Each structure stands twice: as C-alpha cells, then as structure tokens.
Amino acid sequence: MNVAAVLMEILKSAGVRYLFGNPGTTELPFLDALPDSGLEYVLGLQEATAVAAADGYAQASGQIGVVNVHVAPGLANSLSILHNAARAKTPLVVTAGQQDSRFLIDEPILAGDLVQMAEQFTKWSYEIRRAEDAPVALRRALKIALTPPTGPVFLSLPMDLMRPAVEDTGAGPTAIAARSRPDPGALARAVELLTGARAPIIIAGDGVARSQAVPELTALAELLGARVHGEPVFRRTNFPGNHALWRGGLFPSPGGVRKALEDCDALLIVGANVFTWFLHTEGTPFPRGLRVVQIDDDPWEIGRSHPISLGIAADPKATLAELAGTLRTRLTETERAAATARVEKIGKARSELMSRVRGAAQAEAERTPIGQAHLMHTLSSLLSADAIVVDESATSLPFVFRYLPFATPGSFYGGKTGTLGWGMGAAIGVQLGSPGRKVVATIGDGSVMYAPQALWTAAHYRLPITYVIPNNASYAILKSGMLSLDLASAKRGIYPGMDLVEPEIDYTGLARSLGVRAERVEKPGELAAVLAACLAHPGPTLVDVAIDRGFKSML
C-alpha cells in the first residue's frame, strides 16, 4: 500500500470512524485513499468548522477526533479552535497537507512552517520527512493525544510523501493503561485534611467529565456533605446540575472565588484549572490557612498559580473512588450525622434559590422583547431527558446555566476559551458522537456569524440539531466589558463596533439558504410553540429569538 492508504488503515485500526475536514490541493494524495478506507468523511465548508466538529465529536464520544485541513491558510483558519481544544484537553489529531517537500526551499504559494504554527496549541507537532516515517508518526500522534493529560497533536503531511509504497501492518497505536492510582500516603493525608471539616467545599473541573468520574464525585460529595461548585470556566457536566449539593460555577475573579469560600475550612479541587480568570482584578482566591487538596491527571495544573496543602497527580476517577472508600471506614457516626445535616441544609438553600429563579422567569412571561430568563426557562421545559446542550451564547450563558438542567453526564458542552466560532461546528461533532440524541445549540447572534457554514453541514448530514439564537443585535458581552472597565466611551453610551444593525442580519434567511428550517420569534406567547415544533423536527432547525437588548456591568 502507499503511505496514504497505510495511514487510513492505521486510523481505522485505532477505531476512527469519521474524518472531518475541508479539502484542498495539497490534501488530494491523502484523500485519494479515503474511498476504500471504511472511514466516513464529514465535510465542513471552512476549516474552523471542521476542527470544531472534530473537537465536539471527541469530547462527546470519548474517542479520538481526527481532522484534515488545507496547508498553511487552512491551518491558520483552524488555530482559534485548536486553541480551544488545547484548553479543553481534547484528544484530537489535526493533519494538514503540506506542499511538495522537493520544492519547499522555493517557498511555494501555500507553504508555511506548519509545525511552528501549531506547536503552541498541541502536545506534539511534527512534519513528515520520509515516507517510511509516516506510519510511525501517526501511531505516535494517536498515542500522545490519548494519553492523559489528553490533548491535540498536529501532523504535517507533504503531498509527495503520501504516494510511495511502504511496508507496514496498518496496526493502530499501542494501547496504554493510563488510569494511574493515587499514592497511598498521599491518599491517607487527603483523608486527614478532609475528615472533620465543618464546611467542606468541592470545586469540580472538566477533568471530572474527561475521566468519567461524575458518579464517584457525587458519592464523595454526599459522604462529606460538601457544597459543590464548578470551576470558573467549566464547560462540561462534572456534577449533576439538579443535585441538592450543586451551587453552580464560581465567578471568574479572585474576589468571586474567595467570597464563595468564606466559610470553607477544607477545599477539594478535582480536575480543574486553578484558576482561569476573565479580567484582571486584585486579590487571591484562597483565604489564609485554608486546607486545599487538589487532584488532577495533569501535574502541571497542581499548585500551578496558587499554593495548596496537598496535590495528587493521578486519575480522578480512580482517586475519588479510593478516597470515598477510605473515608467510609474513617468517618465517625457524629461526622456522618453532621454530613447528612449539611446535605439537608444545602439542599434547602438550593431549593429556595431555584424557586426564586423560576419566579424571575415567570415574571418575564408576557414581556416584550423576550427576556433571557423566559427564553431559557421555556427551552428547559421542552427538552427531553437525554437532550444535549452545546453553548456559545456569551451574554446569555448565565441564563443557560441557571435554567437548563444538565442533570446527566454528557448533557452539556461549551467553549473553553470564549473563542467565537466553536459552537456551530462543535454541535455537529457532539451529535455524531451521541447517536440518537437531540442536540440544542444555544449560540449568540454574533457567534453565529463566525461559522454559519456549519448550518450546511448539519443539513447535508440531516443531523437533529436545533440552533437557538438569543438575538440582541450586538456584541452585548463586550458592552458589559466596557462598563466593567469603567471606560469613558461607555459612560457616554458609545460602544464602537458592537452593534449588528443597519442592516440587521436575517438569520432565518441565512439558515434557509443553507438547507435548514428556520423560524423567528418576537412575541413571548409564540415562543413555546415554535421551539416545540423545531425541536420535534427530524433534521436541523434554527430559532432566531428577538431578546431584550439591555445589558449591565459584569463585575
């Protein structure tokens, strides 16, 4: 077989089903082997859409995502999404065709240093130099991407090196048992730090979801009677969103985290980036003297920016299970009773909070323009139990978190970096990685225009995705930012380049031109019926909702 055919065989042996991509001339020798490979090609009409779809697929399926883009310009189009995949630690193999290696010295029109372009956002970045090295490099790339801490890798494939014949078995990468167990001494110390806490708190990061450790974390939280928060930029379902102990994500500022930890005397952080902030503010997140235990499969994250009492570099799922098992044998009856009382107290406070949240949405039921609370509350009431939400709504994100349940693992995915253009394509990959499940993408009107090409892909593959657009005809998140920064223009009511008007964008017309059923809603009384009809549609749909255009400071 030639190199291209061998690479396809390796991907198939590794369990790869989909090759996401957008083709170009330099990729043709590689793609020539696709028809006989058994892989299905998923076409995105722009590289960022293809990479986002591969990212979403990998996160939802738990399998490797593989995407092929077009030389230097195509890789450049992909970098913002690759940046997101790196922060999300998505197991992803990104390949790009490179121009013929025999005349790279002449700087051909599409060439560039692809390795240098990709390496800051990848675990490994490499360009094939000899045909016989290609199978080795692909197996290595697959292994590196899948080994915790997982993450994206990049391979540059010069087009002339895809055609020579090579001897290779076509076998996939060596399987690695990567679930590392915690050091027994460290586990004993963690038990010592957590036992007897009067007000324990757990911060759950996206590493919990990547490790499939939601059941173990839930059991441990109940055992400790610990309130659970999501890390400041959590974008996976790391704890049941309808659980009595869940109190939502932490505000992304040192002061916001510190306020949430005011009464805490023992803190457990699992699978989290400690911490990702939105804007610079002074202060430190941890009160002086707080006992902090951090568990992560990535040693880089442990104590990275703030001192902690104990770090355990091990698989979160295995570590949480062993920690809970040890605690069950150590807790006294008095400590168990105290934990049970905390669960009841925290659950009562949550119940009261959710009652106020529902009341706020109901108060908007007749208001025009449509309120974001009413929109998300109505959408929540219509979702099936197995629906999945993919979010890139920016201004509306707090309402997404407040009203949509996210009760089960794999029910929520969001952009890890705030990179616009991820959500449209990611919804495609999430749906392909979750066969038979409805995907709802809550996408801001500004975000839609970064990757509207994804609508064609959703239509072409007849995917059951409903794109819900909270449309305020502006980059309202940036207006909020200007207010937060106390900028002079904001005080004068001037927000340069932040209004999407004159003309306003016809999202329904855009969607219909790409083969997607689309509806616009301006009256609150029509919202439920339109959403229900679009959610019931077997193919892709889009609902453009004219929402309140107001905004306020985010700090």
Six token digits for residue 35: 């028809």
The Cα 146–Cα 15 span in angstroms is 12
Confirm whether 53 is domain-assigned: yes
DSSP class of residue 25? G
Look at residue 326 in the predicted model and tell me its pLDDT.
97
Regarding whether 260 and 113 lie in a shared domain, the answer is no
Confidence of residue 279 (pLDDT cuts 50, 70, 90): confident
- Kindly state the average pLDDT of the residues 191-213: 97
Confirm whether 175 is domain-assigned: no
pTM of the model: 0.97
Regarding whether 70 and 137 lie in a shared domain, the answer is yes
End residue of a domain, out of 130, 162, 194 = 162
Confirm whether 79 is domain-assigned: yes
Confirm whether 393 is domain-assigned: yes
Whether 161 contacts 130, CB under 8 Å = yes
| Predicted confidence (pLDDT) at residue 272 exceeds the cutoff of 90 | yes
End residue of a domain, out of 131, 162, 193 = 162
Look at residue 304 in the predicted model and tell me its pLDDT.
95
Q: pLDDT tens across 426-480, in order?
A: 999 999 999 999 999 999 999 999 999 999 999 999 999 999 999 999 999 999 9
Regarding whether 135 and 36 lie in a shared domain, the answer is yes
Confirm whether 84 is domain-assigned: yes
The Cα 26–Cα 161 span in angstroms is 11
Look at residue 555 in the predicted model and tell me its pLDDT.
75
Confirm whether 359 is domain-assigned: no
Confirm whether 168 is domain-assigned: no
Nearest 5°: phi and psi at 437?
-105, 145
Regarding whether 335 and 436 lie in a shared domain, the answer is no
Regarding whether 215 and 147 lie in a shared domain, the answer is no
Regarding whether 387 and 321 lie in a shared domain, the answer is no
Give the length of the chain: 555
Regarding whether 436 and 312 lie in a shared domain, the answer is no
Regarding whether 218 and 147 lie in a shared domain, the answer is no
How many distinct structural domains can be found in the chain? 3
Regarding whether 536 and 395 lie in a shared domain, the answer is yes
Confidence of residue 278 (pLDDT cuts 50, 70, 90): confident
Domain range enclosing 230: 184-348
- The CA–CA distances, whole Å, from 328 to 164, 220, 322 equal 61, 9, 10
Regarding whether 401 and 344 lie in a shared domain, the answer is no
Confidence of residue 377 (pLDDT cuts 50, 70, 90): very high
Q: What is the CATH number of the domain that holds 519?
A: 3.40.50.970
Q: pLDDT tens across 134-146, in order?
A: 999 999 999 999 9
Q: What is the dihedral of CA 41, 45, 49, 54, to 10 degrees?
A: 10
The Cα 335–Cα 550 span in angstroms is 48
What percent of the chain is predicted at pLDDT more than 90?
A: 96
Regarding whether 329 and 239 lie in a shared domain, the answer is yes
Q: What is the CATH number of the domain that holds 295?
A: 3.40.50.1220
Q: pLDDT tens across 71-119, in order?
A: 999 999 999 999 999 999 999 999 999 999 999 999 999 999 999 999 9
Confirm whether 354 is domain-assigned: no
Regarding whether 205 and 132 lie in a shared domain, the answer is no
